[in-house]
Amino acid sequence: MITAGIDVGSLTSKAVIMKDGKILSSIILKSKPRPWESADLAINGVLEKTGLSMKDINCCVGTGYGRDKIPFIHQARSEIACHAKGARWLMPSARTVIDIGGQDCKVMKLDEKGEMVKFITNDKCASGTGRFLEVMAKAMGVELSELGELSARSKNPVTLASACTVWAQADVIQHLNEMIPIEDIAAGINNAMASRVATLVSSIGIEKEVCMTGGVAKNSGVVSSLEKTLGIRIKKIRRDDPQLAGAIGAANYAETLLNGGKI
Amino acid sequence: MNRFVEAVSTLENRYIKDWKSRGGRVVGYTCSYVPDEILHAAGLFPFRVRGFSAADTTIGDTYFGPFICSLPKCMLQLAGEGNFNFLDGIIITPGCDSMRRLDECWRKAGEDIEGIVPGFFFHFGVPHKFTDYTLKWFTEETKRLINALNSHFGADINNEQLSESIRLYNRTRVLLARFDSLRTRKDPPFTGIEALAVVLAGTALPKEIYNAMLEEYLAEMNDAPGIAGRSRIMLVGSANDDLELVRIIEGSGGLVAADNLCFGSRLYSDSVDENSEPVEALVTRYLSHNECPRMYGDYKNRLLSLKEKIESAAIDGVILQNIRFCDLHGSENGLFERDLEKEGIPCMRLEREYGPLVETGRMKMRIDAFLERLGRRVVAP
């Protein structure tokens, strides 16, 4: 049984192909302006890696912001449900899932069976999302992937005056102009991000184990700052790339559909 | 149905134009705590002011500032653009602090923009508690309103007229209660969008016409086929007169089968006692009305009535929405969520802006996820 899951997000698109519950291949690429273009690129890219073609896929489920615009999927499912499902696959002991995506941040609570029982998302503001980090990295002239490593070397993190993305960016520029070490600015950015996310996590309540999915889960600076702010340990996902959680969840749902289940 | 939708899709609808063309006068009011029976008894057309159709809030932002509920800002925007110039009067209440500020902001805007302040401009104080002394105070305030209307419009509001208006308005409440029982049945004959249009129309039409339309509609709906197989949602929280918000929920497979909104079921949940002295009966009905969190110390009763409605309407999940910066509903929604979830009733909180519906993608994502959660919910036999 071969299934595919495709997650068309605002910043990146992800696709996975699974066979009998195991990942055959996966892909993460920058999203195009049109969701169907991203979906085509992602599915073709992931198929190419396996040597399979679309007709070999028994069922495909789509998720993410562009889910309703993907022509080749059998069913669409919200990214909240898919991230919860994918997180459970990545870490079966997870009960609280923090997902930081390109333009939103979600916290999901799972019951002992792995079913999502509660969720909360950020309100309409880019701070606390991947876009926040992207804007800050650009303002600093570093790669997004460098932020975690940079902040780990910080001795004296700055405090950003505002968690508003535009104002925080102005703050970052100000700190750069004042020759503040780049490591301290990076740490300040990650702390600001963590404090926004911590508010959401606290309001839904924490249950162990806690894990993080989404691209920001790969930023060790945000993860450690969040652990410190919340006084908890966030268990690192090792089974596969945490950024794939939505696509994995979608592929899991595709399997459920094939088995005659209702999703 | 089209007549209801038409009546609520424009501010100055054809019934108002017709009324005005015959020399009638229209008085707006901003809150469901205004006993509009009094306006009817004065021979005026009571019109519930909405912020519907405001395309932006540049005027509203100028006078209110940015960090305040967008409902009164949209109202002021429309006023500033001259969209309420058909009003001969306006009654503003301290429904909440944001709405109270509409009074001063509208007056201030009137100093800068000519012709937007109606000739009759009345601040109607409504206490936040229901006690013997607030009832006394509210009675005096109501009499002050009656005197002001008499004096400005040359009316002569008397007990006989008031009693007649009370009977007419109670008839509306009886009809809407029948409408509600259709709405909350297992297979309601209309959607939540249609339900909102029907209830809203009652705030924008002469009651005589509205009652006749409602009777006709109810007769049609009695034998209409029902809608089944959708997740039944109760919509709770801040004022909503936007059909589009309900459309998003229902477009994702939900059915808004009940609400507790002030442009919804709050309007008809209690009748006015027809056997008491009219002013006393009116003030008692309006001030004892506890469904808005503006009324202090009544959370437990509000929770109770919510739970009763959830049970009687067989609700699958509750959407607790609030307009950004709405302190009253924002905080009470948190309590509702805590207490309802504790009893196994799924809830989702949703913060939004009033006005042109934006960020619908994000809203739809949350609603989809909530409906997916409800779809999986195991209902005990």
Give the pLDDT of residue A102: 79
- Per residue in A133-160, pLDDT (tens digit) is 888 899 999 988 888 889 989 999 998 8
* pLDDT class of A263 with cuts at 50, 70, 90: low
Closest CA–CA distance from residue A78 to any residue of chain B (Å): 5
- pLDDT for B381 equals 33
Question: Is A93-236 the same fold as A1-91+240-263?
Answer: yes
Chain A residue whose CA is closest to B368: A78
Q: Do B365 and A117 touch (CB under 8 A)?
A: no
Domains and CATH numbers, chain B: 14-160 (3.40.50.11890)
Instruction: Tell me whether residues B369 and A120 touch, CB distance under 8 A.
Output: no
CB contact under 8 A, A78 and B324: no
The token pair that represents B331 in the structure block: 């905080």
Give the pLDDT confidence score for residue A196 in this predicted structure: 84
Q: Give Cα separations from B13 to A172, B26, B121 (angstroms).
A: 53, 12, 22
Report the range of poorest mean pLDDT among A20-24, B76-80, B286-290, B354-358.
B354-358
Q: What is the ipTM of this complex?
A: 0.76
- Amino acid A243 reads Q
Contact B349 A80 (CB under 8 A): no
Contact B351 A123 (CB under 8 A): yes
Residue A130 pLDDT level (bands cut at 50, 70, 90): confident
pLDDT above 60 (res B173): yes
B253 half-sphere exposure, CB direction, 13 A CA radius: 16
What local confidence, expressed as pLDDT, does residue B276 receive?
95
Average pLDDT over residues B337-360: 88
Q: Select the highest-mean-pLDDT range: A116-120, B56-60, B130-134, B242-246.
A: B130-134
Instruction: Give how far A211 is from chain B: nearest CA, Å.
Output: 20
**Domain A93-236 belongs to what topology?**
Nucleotidyltransferase; domain 5 (3.30.420)
pLDDT value at residue B378: 44
Residue A183 φ/ψ, nearest 5 degrees? -65, -40
Average pLDDT over residues A96-113: 89
- pLDDT value at residue B125: 96
Best interface-test mutation with B: which of A31, A80, A199, A203 has the largest number of B CBs within 10 A? Answer: A80
Q: Do B373 and A79 touch (CB under 8 A)?
A: no
Question: How many whole angstroms separate alpha carbon A250 and alpha carbon A7?
Answer: 8
CATH superfamily for domain A1-91+240-263: ATPase, nucleotide binding domain (3.30.420.40)
Q: Whole-angstrom Cα distance, residue A188 to residue A185?
A: 5
What is the predicted pLDDT for the residue at A124?
Answer: 61
Q: Which residue of A79, A116, A120 is in closest CB contact with B373?
A: A116
At residue B128, the pLDDT reads 96
| Per-residue pLDDT reduced to its tens digit, B207-260 | 999 999 999 999 999 889 999 889 999 999 999 998 889 999 998 889 999 999
Q: Which residues pair with B321 in a beta bridge?
A: B237, B350
Task: Give per-residue pLDDT as tens, A20-40.
Answer: 889 999 999 999 999 999 999
Domain ranges of chain A: 1-91+240-263, 93-236
Spatial separation of the C-alpha atoms in residues A5 and A99, rounded to whole Å: 17
Gap from A149 CA to chain B (nearest CA, Å): 32
Helices B159-183, B207-222: crossing angle, 10 deg rounding: 30
CA distance linking residue B147 with residue B125, whole number of Å: 15
Neighbours of B137 (CB within 10 A): 16
Interface membership of A75 toward B (CB under 8 Å): no
- A-chain residues within 8 Å CB-CB of B341? 118
Q: Which segment of A172-186, B66-80, B207-221, B362-376 scores lowest on mean pLDDT? A: B362-376
Tally Cβ neighbours within 10 Å of residue B129. Answer: 12
In the structure, what pLDDT confidence band is assigned to residue A166 with cuts at 50, 70 and 90?
A: confident
Determine which of B248, B326, B351, B366 to mutate to test the interface with A (most A C-beta atoms within 10 Å): B366
Contacts of A125 in chain B (CB under 8 A): none
- pTM, rounded to two decimals: 0.86
DSSP state of A54: G
